[in-house]
């Protein structure tokens, strides 16, 4: 360490290791190393943080995490600001003045340049009249794979997944998922080139299913504008599910989801602010529900409560479409007839769990989603209603199958599909562990063996989504993983074969024959794109898609459980 002529260390060297910590454990004086050991031990004891071997955390950093885990040889330099739930693997670096906040998971060997911001939350700005500072926050989380280089002054926004071995060039503003091996730059960031040449070059995995997935994703992005334009009704200034059909509310939302997934923007057919204004205007200020359009595209008032199936689904589709556009419902969603704790239990009891568990699950989905929007909008829910919902579900689940309602072992379709709907808006959306996950896997895999439902010429989007999601949500149980992966890969191959160039996916596979629901449309395209992500994630190749669902089929919880 340099010294002045008197032999004393120069003043600017006293923080040498805080700003350049990579050689701390080799070159720092023993007293400094002992100070670091004591600091880490106190953070472990007082806050429950976890540190691997030879980690370094500068005392000049701001460490405000609820939970923190650092792998071996990972360091945090001076001026860094950390908060939220943060996990870093081994050999990672957070350089000076970097901000890492929110629910974030980072792999091994990740280098993060100075003055970078990785922010896993966002402000709600849906109500023009209410200051955004009073509208609360949303959070989806950020995941960064192994061996990623993040340059200086990069911004990574909430909901992004960064694939392994990618590079985020200095100054990049990353607003959507980054594929494995991509080098991205600009604002918003786009792929500039690939670390290993063109996608697929000299990569063993790219000669198989992963390469087919990447090629599909490139084709879908190229054709996205055309398939959206195909369903645009210029006269009504609205989307239809398919050309020649009357516009409906869901079609507007599906178009927004497809554009976000494949293009990273709102549909270009109408300015985003006009789309926001229209969706918000359709909400009934008394009930918070959104009705359907008539045959001419005019909006009709919604039902009076969540028992109206169409309006109940719009709690999902319109709510998430607004969320993707950076907005939110203008009014809270009334929970009636489940607007008190006793009413929640009575309403759930009255749903047709034994005769039609899919419908029962769909109503439960709407209730849970309404509760989530009310929470995110700062309105809250009636006292005890959330506890009543989850308490009912935890005490009424069948521990032998992980399902709700009557179990018909000869035909599990409605039971499994009902599980998906019930859990998506409750345990999945609130970030809570599902009960009896291993039994759920057993039941779903038994259902998947039913060739009357899952032969290649029998597939439809609902049935495949409703097995892909539960297998994905229970994947951490590690139960029958090889079987789950094998099923996922088989289904991926079938789905890829069903894309119609320039028009997208039909709801049902075209191999089913001459049926109206095999025709490509917005609903089928939106659902199958999300299904592909779940299946690819189960197969370990989701990064090849370059997108991650953020709408109705968002895998990330919208509500973080209390700690």
Is the dihedral angle over the CA atoms 347, 336, 555, 490 positive or is it negative? positive
Rounded CA gap, 330 and 129, in Å?
10
List residues bridging with 338 in a β-sheet.
none
Rounded to the nearest 5 degrees, what angle is found at the Cα of 266, between the Cα atoms of 157 and 316? 85
Could you tell me the two tokens for 175?
Answer: 């607003």
- Provide DSSP, 181-223: TEEEETTTTEEEEETTSSTTTT-GGGGTHHHHHHHHHHHHHHH
Distance of alpha carbon 349 from its chain centroid, rounded? 31
296 is catalytic: no
| Residue of 15, 115, 123, 331 with catalytic role | 123
Distance of alpha carbon 428 from its chain centroid, rounded? 11
Could you tell me the two tokens for 96?
Answer: 């000076």
Could you tell me the two tokens for 259?
Answer: 């554009």
Given phi > 0 = left and psi -120 to 50 = alpha, else beta, which region is 436? left
Phi, psi of 521 (to 5 degrees): -160, 180
Who's near 79: CB < 8 A, 6+ residues apart? 19, 58, 60, 61, 96, 97, 98
Say if residues 231 and 250 touch (Cβ distance below 8 Å).
no
Rounded CA gap, 447 and 463, in Å?
10
Q: Which residues are catalytic?
A: 123
């Amino acid at each position: 360490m340099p010294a002045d002529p008197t032999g004393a260390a120069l003043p600017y060297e006293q923080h040498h290791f805080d700003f350049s910590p990579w050689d701390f454990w080799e070159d720092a004086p023993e007293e400094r190393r002992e100070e670091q050991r004591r600091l880490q031990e106190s953070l472990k004891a007082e806050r429950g943080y976890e540190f691997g071997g030879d980690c370094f955390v500068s005392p000049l950093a701001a460490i405000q995490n609820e939970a923190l885990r650092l792998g071996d040889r990972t360091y945090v330099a001076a001026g860094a600001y950390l908060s939220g739930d943060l996990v870093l693997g081994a050999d990672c670096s957070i350089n000076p003045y970097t901000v890492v906040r929110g629910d974030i998971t980072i792999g091994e060997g990740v280098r993060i340049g100075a003055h970078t911001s990785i922010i896993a939350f966002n402000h709600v700005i849906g109500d023009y009249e209410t200051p955004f500072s009073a509208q609360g926050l949303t959070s989806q989380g950020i995941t960064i794979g192994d061996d990623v280089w993040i340059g200086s002054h990069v911004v990574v926004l909430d909901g992004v997944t960064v694939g392994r071995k990618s590079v985020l060039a200095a100054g990049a503003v990353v607003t959507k998922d980054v594929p494995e091996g991509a080098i991205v730059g600009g604002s918003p960031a786009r792929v500039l080139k690939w670390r290993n040449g063109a996608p697929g070059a000299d990569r063993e995995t790219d000669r198989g299913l992963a390469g087919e997935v990447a090629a599909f994703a490139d084709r879908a992005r190229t054709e996205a504008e055309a398939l959206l334009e195909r369903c645009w009704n210029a006269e009504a200034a609205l989307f239809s599910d398919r050309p020649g059909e009357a516009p409906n509310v869901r079609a507007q939302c599906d178009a927004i989801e497809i554009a976000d997934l494949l293009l990273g923007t709102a549909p270009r057919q109408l300015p985003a602010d006009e789309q926001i204004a229209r969706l918000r205007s359709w909400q009934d200020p008394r009930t918070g529900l959104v009705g359907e359009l008539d045959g001419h595209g005019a909006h009709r008032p919604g039902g009076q409560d969540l028992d109206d199936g169409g309006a109940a689904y719009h709690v999902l589709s319109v709510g998430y479409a607004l969320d993707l556009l950076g907005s939110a419902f203008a009014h809270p969603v009334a929970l009636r007839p489940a607007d008190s704790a006793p009413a929640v239990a009575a309403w759930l009891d009255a749903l047709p769990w034994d005769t039609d568990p899919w419908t029962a699950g769909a109503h439960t989905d709407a209730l849970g989603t309404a509760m989530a929007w009310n929470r995110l909008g700062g309105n809250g829910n009636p006292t005890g209603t959330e506890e009543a919902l989850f308490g009912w579900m935890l005490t009424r689940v069948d521990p032998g199958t992980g399902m709700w309602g009557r179990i018909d072992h000869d035909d599990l379709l409605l039971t499994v599909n009902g599980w998906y709907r019930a859990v998506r808006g409750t345990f999945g959306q609130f970030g809570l562990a599902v009960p009896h996950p291993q039994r759920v896997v057993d039941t779903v895999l038994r259902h998947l063996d039913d060739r009357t439902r899952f032969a290649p010429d029998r597939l439809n989007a609902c049935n495949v989504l409703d097995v892909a999601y539960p297998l994905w949500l229970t994947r951490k149980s590690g139960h029958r993983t090889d079987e789950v992966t094998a099923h996922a890969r088989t289904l991926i191959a079938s789905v890829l074969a069903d894309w119609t160039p320039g028009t997208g996916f039909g709801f049902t596979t075209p191999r089913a024959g001459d049926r109206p629901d095999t025709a490509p449309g917005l609903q089928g395209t939106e659902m199958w794109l999300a299904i592909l992500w779940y299946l690819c994630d189960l197969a370990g190749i989701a990064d090849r898609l370059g997108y991650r669902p953020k709408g109705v089929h968002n895998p990330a919880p919208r509500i973080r459980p209390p700690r």
